[in-house]
Structure 1
Amino acid sequence: MNRPPETQRLFFALWPGAEIREQATQIAQRMLGKRGKCVRSENLHLTLVFLGSTTEQQRACAEAVADTIEGTAFALRLEQIGYWSRPRVVWLAPRETPQPLIELVQQLNQGLTACGYQPEARPYRAHMTLARKVAGYFPAREVAPLACPVEHFYLVRSVSYPGGVEYQVLRSWPLAQ
């Protein structure tokens, strides 16, 4: 009997420094109180491309694609809080997505098609999920900007445990200065 190949749940992401993640956590806690479940500081990130359940062969292909990316470093200003009612999520995002970030996502999506990955049909929306299961309406608002230098992008593994989810950075790629 053939067993299906083992998979890992993977995604490419931006991984802000600990100070930015802690500031984002404080913003979420201050604004939400007990209205939702805040994402743990160590898990805060901005997803670039979600790969989902990935075999070793697909992972190797995705890493080879990432090796070819010619992105440039940029500054990301996280300054807008918003709410998506359907998944009941509060997020932190830039007011405008920087062009180098759009190009990075486009390069990844384009390259990953050779690995069998189907890019999302909807346009990319850079955001950091701050809280889930948020009760009631949460109005959008501006916050003091968090300046986040982006010099690398990362391949991350999502591992589920009874107590929650842990994200493990597997590999990183530098962006040109």
Structure 2
Amino acid sequence: MRLFIGLAPPADARAAIARERDRLHAQTGGRPSSDANLHLTLAFIGASTPQALQRIRKMLETMPAVPFALTLDCAGDFRRGGIVWLGSSTPAAALLALADAVRAGLAAADVPFDPQPFAPHVTLLRKGQPVREQLAAPISWLVDTLVLYVSESTEAGVQYRPLYQRLLAAR
């Protein structure tokens, strides 16, 4: 199982992100991410065992976290791989704190994860041309759910399927 922990946009935000993906696809080319795969990764775990899966679920169940607003207001790219993404010009402190808490929880649960610095983004395209711009209409949503995903290879391509979801509690 290839696992990661992320945030899934609700339907209205997902539709707005998909419209930006389509607009940027016309501008930069590349291979678009499917609507169902649009998400923001907090921690990439990769190959995992059933025992590690249980530790991850327990960590997510007990980790303190509260809902917060997330706004995507810019588009950019990672030159390696031609990844075109949406992100925040000023990431919310609550988003950065949640990513830190998830990564600290994984470390405490002895679950290896990709140690690359957290770069909050929603991947829109692969193998696209470079882009840097502010969005005319920022996309916002209330983050109220953490999702543990499994990445599965299918004939239709890679699909991300939720294995576990946890609502964030209000204070």
TM-score, scaled relative to structure 1? 0.89
The one-letter amino acid of 1:81's match is A
Aligned to 1:42: 36
The match for 1:14 among 7, 14, 30 is 7
The one-letter amino acid of 1:166's match is Q
Within 5 Å, give how 1:1-177 maps onto structure 2. Answer: 8-33=1-26, 35-134=29-128, 136=129, 138-143=130-135, 144-177=137-170
Q: Hey, what's the Cα distance between the residues in 2 that align with 1:54 and 1:62? A: 10
Q: Hey, what's the Cα distance between the residues in 2 that align with 1:62 and 1:110? A: 12
- Change over 3 Å in CA distance of 1:99–1:150 after alignment to 2: same
Check conservation: 2:3, 2:148, Cα contact below 8 A: yes
Q: CA RMSD in A?
A: 1.5
Q: CA deviation at 1:76?
A: 0.3
Segments of 5+ residues of structure 1 without an aligned counterpart are 1-7
The one-letter amino acid of 1:172's match is Q
Aligned length: 168
Greater per-residue helix proportion: 2
Q: Hey, what's the Cα distance between the residues in 2 that align with 1:161 and 1:50? A: 20
Secondary structure at the residue paired with 1:131?
strand
Check conservation: 1:18, 1:42, Cα contact below 8 A: no
The one-letter amino acid of 2:47's match is S
Secondary structure at the residue paired with 1:172?
strand
Question: Which is higher, the Rg of structure 1 or of structure 2?
Answer: 1
Q: CA deviation at 1:166?
A: 1.2
Q: Hey, what's the Cα distance between the residues in 2 that align with 1:165 and 1:31? A: 21
Q: Hey, what's the Cα distance between the residues in 1 that align with 2:164 and 2:116? A: 27
Q: Hey, what's the Cα distance between the residues in 1 that align with 2:33 and 2:115? A: 26
Check conservation: 2:147, 2:164, Cα contact below 8 A: yes
Q: CA deviation at 1:139?
A: 2.5
Secondary structure at the residue paired with 1:66?
helix
Segments of 5+ residues of structure 2 without an aligned counterpart are none
